[in-house]
């Protein structure tokens, strides 16, 4: 085990035996072990120096282009959890059809469950947000809720990850050991990818539930596309990213209109953003600090929405709606948003879902939408609809 310099804690104190996995269509990383762990807020003025120290120590040991992997919290003022892996490899996406590995025998019974906040309090939270639109500059705020579960047995993380991947073949898949357990999920949303000078982001906002019947499913997608409320909710996200990123990125390509994308459980409005860094020294952490949280996770204006979330939400999101991914010493990296995921610790599981609240929002619909978003992970656990 390496000796750790100030600002890092002993990696023996975290779950270092668990693998770190981050699979995307463009860069899949598998890691084992943690030589050292950086726990420092991204907003801390010493963050960049500490990161450079880590990379330099690795280079001194002969690693040509070292990486860090891990999770960054929703609130950038809270410490991130970044590890220098003992062993890592980049690999291409599996060439086979993942869906054939759906493990229908993987099932869990729910012993106890609790919504945090519960239904009535969540409705009050949304109503409280709605009152703030009248007399302030607040335009959108994303409110979230947790579902805490006690299952009938310890979760087999390998089988869970297999199901997450098989059921959501187009998502960003991740298995990330953190202090409270392991974060496992299938996120549909990319905050930032940087490859050499190219930068990509793919915000999603505006949602509708998928339907089993094909005609109804098409109608749900059409209704989402036509929805003024959802188009507005989405536009706020794109406008905010455009203005936040433009200091760092030129040649920005942003389609005039969003497109429709789907996961197995949800339809979303989506925009593919692309550009080129102005300065070659810009790294993914600079870009994260510039654009996170986007109004897809926070709201508009950013600081006002952050404050509203702090005041209204009764729970700490911690890594939920933060970021998961990797970065290398050359400034490249890929960071997905930590949604449609679970934090698992033995038989105890926490799920998260948020929804954008705008003046036209209906509190009950936001409760239903957040419940629908949780189905991604409930399905992966093999938990039946009527279990809750």
Ligand X SMILES: C=C(O[C@H]1C=CC=C(C(=O)O)[C@@H]1O)C(=O)O
- 85 touches ligand X (CB under 6 A): no
Choose the stretch contacting ligand X; rule: CB under 6 A; options: 2-10, 13-21, 67-75, 205-213: 205-213
CB of 330 to ligand X, least distance (A): 30
Q: Quote the CA–CA distance of 150 and 78 in Å, as a whole number.
A: 27
380 is a contact residue toward ligand X (CB under 6 A): no
Which residues, numbered 230-249, are part of the site for ligand X (CB under 6 A)?
none
Q: Shortest Cβ distance from residue 373 to ligand X (Å)?
A: 4
Q: How far, in Å, CA of 35 to CA of 324, rounded? A: 19
The only residue of 50, 340, 350, 375 in contact with ligand X, by rule CB under 6 A? 340
Helix (H, G, I), strand (E, B) or coil at 372: helix
Identity of the residue, 63 or 254, whose beta carbon is nearer to ligand X in the bound complex: 254
Residues 31-60 that bind ligand X (CB under 6 A): none
Indicate the pairing of strand 273-277 with strand 348-357.
Answer: unpaired
Half-sphere exposure of 235 (CA within 13 A, CB side): 11
d(CA 333, CA 327): 4
Q: Active-site residue 289, yes or no? A: no
Q: Among residues 287, 295, 321, 323, which one has the least CA distance to residue 234?
A: 295
Least separation in angstroms between residue 238's CB and ligand X is: 12
Per-residue b or e along 355-380, where b marks 16 or more CB atoms closer than 10 Å to that residue's CB: bbbbeebebeebbebbbbbbbbbbbb
> Whole-angstrom Cα distance, residue 77 to residue 44?
7
Is there binding between residue 129 and ligand X (CB under 6 A)? no
Contact window for ligand X (CB under 6 A) among 71-79, 200-208, 210-218, 325-333 = 200-208
Nearest CB to ligand X, comparing residues 79 and 293 = 293
**Of positions 138, 277, 339, 383, contacts ligand X by CB under 6 A:** 339
CA 290 to chain centroid:
17
Q: 363-381 and 119-135 are packed helices; what angle lies between their axes, rounded to 10 degrees? A: 130
Residue 333 touching ligand X (CB under 6 A): no
**Contact status: 344 vs ligand X (CB under 6 A):** no
Residues 6 or more apart from 255 whose CB is under 8 A from it? 271, 272
Closest residue to bound ligand X by CB: 354
Q: Contacting ligand X (CB under 6 A), which of 70, 73, 275, 356?
A: 356
Closest to ligand X by CB, 327 or 353: 353
Q: Looking at 78, 175, 207, 265, which residue binds ligand X (CB under 6 A)? A: 207
Task: Using DSSP, state whether 185 is helix, strand or coil.
Answer: strand
Active site residue 194: no
Which is nearer to ligand X, 101 or 200 (by Cβ)?
Answer: 200
Cβ-based neighbour number of residue 175 at 10 Å: 24
Per the rule left: phi > 0, alpha: psi between -120 and 50, beta: everything else, 63 is beta
Residue list 285-324, contact with ligand X (CB under 6 A): 296-297, 321
Give yes or no for residue 73 binding ligand X (CB under 6 A): no
Does residue 350 bind ligand X (CB under 6 A)? no
The dihedrals phi and psi of 66, each to the nearest 5 degrees, come to -65, 160
């860090």: which residue's tokens?
Answer: 68
| HSE-up (13 A, CA, CB side) for residue 15 | 17
Of 140, 194, 306, 373, which residue is the catalytic one? 140
User: Can residue 353 be called a binding residue for ligand X (CB under 6 A)?
Assistant: yes
Binders of ligand X among residues 139 to 198 (CB under 6 A) are 142, 189
Q: Which of 7, 162, 181, 206 binds ligand X (CB under 6 A)?
A: 206
Residues that bind ligand X (CB under 6 A): 142, 189, 204-207, 268, 296-297, 321, 339-340, 352-356, 373
Known catalytic residues are 140, 189
């Amino acid at each position: 085990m390496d000796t750790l310099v100030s600002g890092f804690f002993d990696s023996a104190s975290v779950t270092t035996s668990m693998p770190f996995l981050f699979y995307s269509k463009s860069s899949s990383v598998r890691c084992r072990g943690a030589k050292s762990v950086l726990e420092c807020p991204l907003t801390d003025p010493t963050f960049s120096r500490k990161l450079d120290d880590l990379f330099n120590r690795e280079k001194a040991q002969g690693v040509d282009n070292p990486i860090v992997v891990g999770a960054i919290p929703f609130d950038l003022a809270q410490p991130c959890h970044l590890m220098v892996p003992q062993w890592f490899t980049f690999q291409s996406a599996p060439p086979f059809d993942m869906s054939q590995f759906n493990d229908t025998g993987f099932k869990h019974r729910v012993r106890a469950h609790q919504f945090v906040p519960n239904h009535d309090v969540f409705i009050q939270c949304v109503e409280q947000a709605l009152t703030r639109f009248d007399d302030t500059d607040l335009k959108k705020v994303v409110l979230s809720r947790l579902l805490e579960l006690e299952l009938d047995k310890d979760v087999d993380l390998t089988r869970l990850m297999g199901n997450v991947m098989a059921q959501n073949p187009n998502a960003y898949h991740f298995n990330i050991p953190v202090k409270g357990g392991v974060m496992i999920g299938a996120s549909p949303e990319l905050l930032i990818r940087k490859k050499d000078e190219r930068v990509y982001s793919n915000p999603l906002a505006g949602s509708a539930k998928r339907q089993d019947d094909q005609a109804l499913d098409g109608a749900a997608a059409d209704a989402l596309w036509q929805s003024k409320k959802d188009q507005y909710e989405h536009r706020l996200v794109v406008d905010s990213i455009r203005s936040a990123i433009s200091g760092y990125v030129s040649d920005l390509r942003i389609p005039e209109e969003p497109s429709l994308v789907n996961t197995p459980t949800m339809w979303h409005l989506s925009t593919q953003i692309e550009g080129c860094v102005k300065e070659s020294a810009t790294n993914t952490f600079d870009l994260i600090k510039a654009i996170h949280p986007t109004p897809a996770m926070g709201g508009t204006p950013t600081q006002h929405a952050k404050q509203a979330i702090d005041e209204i939400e009764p729970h700490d999101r911690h890594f939920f709606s933060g970021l998961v991914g990797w970065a290398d010493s050359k400034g490249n990296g890929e960071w997905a948003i930590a949604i449609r995921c679970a934090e698992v610790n033995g038989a105890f599981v926490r799920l998260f879902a948020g929804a954008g609240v705008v003046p036209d929002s209906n509190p009950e619909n936001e409760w239903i939408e957040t419940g629908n978003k949780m189905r991604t992970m409930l399905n992966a656990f093999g938990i039946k609809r009527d279990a809750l």
